[in-house]
Amino acid sequence: AQKITQTQPGMFVQEKEAVTLDCTYDTSDQSYGLFWYKQPSSGEMIFLIYQGSYDEQNATEGRYSLNFQKARKSANLVISASQLGDSAMYFCAMRDLANAGGTSYGKLTFGQGTILTVHP
């Protein structure tokens, strides 16, 4: 069974500074995907960044980067130059990359989340 652990219930950062949100995972699968989602108070899950288990380079998307350390089973999210609008709940998630009949499927397993608060 897959498991995602986010050990930081809450994090605070000053505007314009960088912040790292921790995520560790556990799986026996060789092929999997790691995701980070942002959930504002409105409730909608917003996709931020994706890392495949076989990707050798760390993923980057604008101000977001994923620090992927496969041997340590960690996939930390780094947000550079924090903005007030970054204040939200952040979830790390894993998806097993099952395949059948030429199609892919697989549920997302989420961590408990980290509430990020950006101070002006």
Under rule CB under 8 A, residue 54 binds other proteins:
no
Under rule CB under 8 A, residue 102 binds other proteins:
yes
- Region near other proteins per CB under 8 A, out of 10-18, 63-71, 73-81, 99-107: 99-107
CB of 14 to other proteins, least distance (A): 26
3-state secondary structure the chain: CCEEECCCCEEEEECCCCEEECCEEECCCCCEEEEEEEECCCCCCEEEEEEECCCCCCCEECCEEEEEECCCCEEEEEECCCCHHHCEEEEEEEEECEEECCEEECCEEECCCEEEEEEC
Where along the sequence are the contacts to other proteins (CB under 8 A)?
A: 4, 33, 35, 37, 42-47, 50, 91, 93, 95, 97-98, 102-113
